[in-house]
Structure 1
Amino acid sequence: MILNHRITRVSVGILLLLLVVVVMLPSLTGFTSLDGTVNARLAVINAPIDGEIAGPPARIGTPVREGERVAAIRNDRVSRANLASLRAEHGTALRRIAALARERDSLVRLRNQLAERLELYQRTTIASLERELEIVEKRVEVARAQDVVARLDYDRRQELESKGIFTRKMVESAEAAGAAAGGEVEINSLTVALLKQRLDAVRRGVFALGDGQNDVPYSRQRQDEVIIRINDLNTRIAENRTRASQIEVQIAEEDKRVRSVETATVTSPFEGVVWSRNVVSGSNVILNNEMMRILDCRELFVDILVPEVDYDEIYPGREAEVRLFGRSEVFKGEVQAVKGSSAVVEKDQLAANEPETEERNARIRILLQRSALNTDFANFCQAGRTVQVRISKSTVRLSQWIESLWFSIF
């Protein structure tokens, strides 16, 4: 029979050998995974304020640029009571400043009037005292002249008394007249000194001039009281201006806060595509509630599982080739992370599920190089698409493979 022919048996053996080689060749020359999935991270967009969605938000599958608006929120129930209270307090402070300023200006005018009255009275008093001083000085001159005449008359009568012409009584009368003239000179001299002292005091602004002259001391006292009141008003005006400035700052902050909770524009944090949304136009939202998710297409990656025995052969930095099922195009990638089978799976928000297994498989994450997939927003950047991944070996280590096989058998 032809099946028992030697050539047939040899041919079948060769074919079986080739089949074994073909089956084993991929594992000898590299690592291949058929359970990879294109994956990307999701950014969760939460509501920044309470309110209602104003206008239609971005639809699912809509490409968005960085900073582009994806939704708007309006809150018509914002409380403005604190802002109104601050504005009323600010207005009260300004009106108080104006009232105090008017009172101060009135007192300043009164102070100026009192100063003018005091200056006028001072000039009048100085002129009067100078005139009185001149009169008294003239009296001193007259008194001195009379004193000289009295002394000469006394000397002449003494001489005539010695000759027996005048009596002693006449001499004594001349002596008394001379003493009276000398006293008049002394009195007028003291009066001149007193007037000079008073004149000097008035020029210095001291009006202790005696009885019947109380107008100037009262004016000076009233002027001092007005000055004290003006200083007090200046202090109160400064305090109210400081308070008004502080309230203006509070009003600005409160107004800013009210505007921030009254309306809000939600923007995309990066270039991507709307993956899902939980709101529509008119929906009520609560602060920090999830509104939508945006797919981050900037970094696409693939998670695969390989037997953990090959853990040391696959390390970060190794190049990989990725092919989408149904496509012949090959995309370049690079091993980003390698984790053991018992490693805890990360809890990031991902677009696709990570591969799960109960066997001892290492988890490999491959970062795809930037390509047309990163801008394929119409297809959600192919997130969730099954891929085939191959990581080539630099050398075929047959001896190592035989040792591993020997170790696994025995």
Structure 2
Amino acid sequence: MFLNSRPTRSLVGVLLFGVAVLALLPGMKGYTSLDGTVNARVAVVSAPIDGTIQFTPAKVGTPVADGQALVSIRNDRVNRAVLASLAAEARTAGERADALVRERDELVRLRATLGERLEAYQAATVETLEREVTILRRRIEVSRAQEIAAQSEFTRRQTLGGSGIVSASAVEQARAAEITSTGQIDVTRLQIEQLEYKLAAVRRGVFVGDGQNDVPYSRQRGDEVSVRIADIDTRIAENLTRAAQIEEQRREEDARVRSLTAAVLSSSFTGVVWRNNVVSGSNVVLGNELVRLLDCRDLFVDILLPEVDYDEIYPGRAAEVRLLGRSATVPAEVLSVRGSAAATEEVTLAAVPPAAKGRSARIRLALHQSDLNTDFGNHCQVGRSVQVRFESRSLPLRRWMSSLWFSIS
């Protein structure tokens, strides 16, 4: 029969040998993985405040630009009691400072009036003392004339007394009159010195006299007013400082209240909406997840390879990635290599990595920039299965022989 003929059997043998060669050839030329998955990271946008969603965020699959507004939250139930209290306290401190300023101005005017009175009183006192000094100096001139007359009368009577014309008592009276005149001049000089001392003291602002203080009432009252003004200046400074501090606290509280009243969340990168958990009118609390954004800037692929090839796959090694159903390939580069027992759970991944199968190393490859990074309508092909191919630099026969020898030795 034809099927049992020698040519037919030879053809079948050649075909089977070719199939075996084709099956073994990929393993001899490199490493291939059929369970790869395109993956990317997602950014979780959470509610920064309590409130109500103002408008529905973009639908799933909608591209968003860097800086584009995603969600707006409004909260009208913010407690403003502390802000109102601080505003009232700041206003009170400012009004108190203004009142103290007005009181200080009144006291300054009173001090100026008292100073004018003191100057008038001092000028009048100086003028009075100067007149008294002038009068006493004139009195000295009169006393000197009387002294000269008394001396002449004493000399004359002394001469007449020696002749017996006048009595001795008359001579003594003339002598007493002379001594009195001389003493009167000395007393007047002392009075002038005393008045000049008072005059110098008054010009210095010190008033000396029996029954008087060193300063008049106007000066004493002016000193009291100056002390009061100094005290008010201190209180004004305290109130102004307090008002400034309260105003700073009020601004901070106002900023805090405004931050809790409304919030607009924007995208920090160009991506696509991966998940939308809220709609307009939804009530949210602090920390609620609102939107998830897919970051297509850095796409990568997770694959599994037998762990015996661990040392042959290293970070930086080039690879080719082909999406199932496509003929074109995307260049890739190994990012990391992890053993089969490594903990690899990541909550920010958009796709589930391939499940570990036995002793399989987990390989992560970074995809070079391609049209996948901008294919927002298809979520950048995240989650799609791929084939990954590594070119081998040598035949695996030597490594297989070394492993076999280690097993049987």
What is the TM-score when the length of structure 2 is the normalising length?
Answer: 0.95
Written as runs of structure 1 = structure 2, the 5 A alignment for 1:162-201 is: 162-201=162-201
Matched length: 409
Q: Does the alignment pair 1:386 with 2:363?
A: no
Q: Does the alignment pair 1:74 with 2:69?
A: no
Distance 2:346 2:330 in 1: 27
Decide whether aligned partners of structure 1 residues 8 and 409 sit closer, same or farther in structure 2, where only a CA change above 3 A counts: farther
Q: Deviations over 1:237-271 (max 9, x none)?
A: 10000001001101110010011010001111221
Written as runs of structure 1 = structure 2, the 5 A alignment for 1:2-17 is: 2-3=2-3, 5-17=5-17
Q: Does the alignment pair 1:47 with 2:63?
A: no
- The residue that corresponds to 2:99 in the other structure is 99
Contact 1:121 1:216 in 2 (8 A): no
Distance 1:31 1:256 in 2: 60
- The residue that corresponds to 1:307 in the other structure is 306
Read off the aligned partner of 1:109 and give its amino acid letter: R
- The residue that corresponds to 1:323 in the other structure is 322
Please state how far the C-alpha of 1:164 moved relative to its aligned partner: 3.0
Contact 1:118 1:216 in 2 (8 A): no
Please state how far the C-alpha of 1:277 moved relative to its aligned partner: 1.3
Please state how far the C-alpha of 1:149 moved relative to its aligned partner: 1.9
Written as runs of structure 1 = structure 2, the 5 A alignment for 1:8-407 is: 8-211=8-211, 217-404=216-403
Contact 2:208 2:214 in 1 (8 A): no
Question: What 5-or-longer segments of structure 2 have no aligned partner?
Answer: none
Distance 2:178 2:403 in 1: 157
Distance 2:89 2:39 in 1: 58
Please state how far the C-alpha of 1:275 moved relative to its aligned partner: 0.2
Distance 2:22 2:164 in 1: 185
Please state how far the C-alpha of 1:201 moved relative to its aligned partner: 1.1
SS at structure 2 position matched to 1:275: strand
SS at structure 2 position matched to 1:184: helix
Distance 2:158 2:61 in 1: 146
Contact 2:206 2:214 in 1 (8 A): no
Contact 2:46 2:288 in 1 (8 A): yes
Q: Deviations over 1:369-410 (max 9, x none)?
A: 111100100000000011111111122243334554676799
Read off the aligned partner of 2:133 and give its amino acid letter: L
SS at structure 1 position matched to 2:355: coil
Q: Deviations over 1:308-339 (max 9, x none)?
A: 11111111111110111111111000011111
Q: Deviations over 1:152-200 (max 9, x none)?
A: 2212222232233332222112111112111211221111111111111
Please state how far the C-alpha of 1:215 moved relative to its aligned partner: 12
Please state how far the C-alpha of 1:3 moved relative to its aligned partner: 4.8
Please state how far the C-alpha of 1:346 moved relative to its aligned partner: 2.9
Contact 2:40 2:296 in 1 (8 A): yes
What is the TM-score when the length of structure 1 is the normalising length?
Answer: 0.95
Contact 2:50 2:260 in 1 (8 A): yes
Read off the aligned partner of 1:48 and give its amino acid letter: P
Question: What 5-or-longer segments of structure 1 have no aligned partner?
Answer: none
Read off the aligned partner of 2:372 and give its amino acid letter: L
Contact 1:52 1:282 in 2 (8 A): yes
Decide whether aligned partners of structure 1 residues 340 and 182 sit closer, same or farther in structure 2, where only a CA change above 3 A counts: same
Please state how far the C-alpha of 1:45 moved relative to its aligned partner: 0.9
Please state how far the C-alpha of 1:296 moved relative to its aligned partner: 0.8
Distance 2:271 2:381 in 1: 12
Distance 2:32 2:200 in 1: 118
SS at structure 2 position matched to 1:255: helix
SS at structure 1 position matched to 2:303: strand
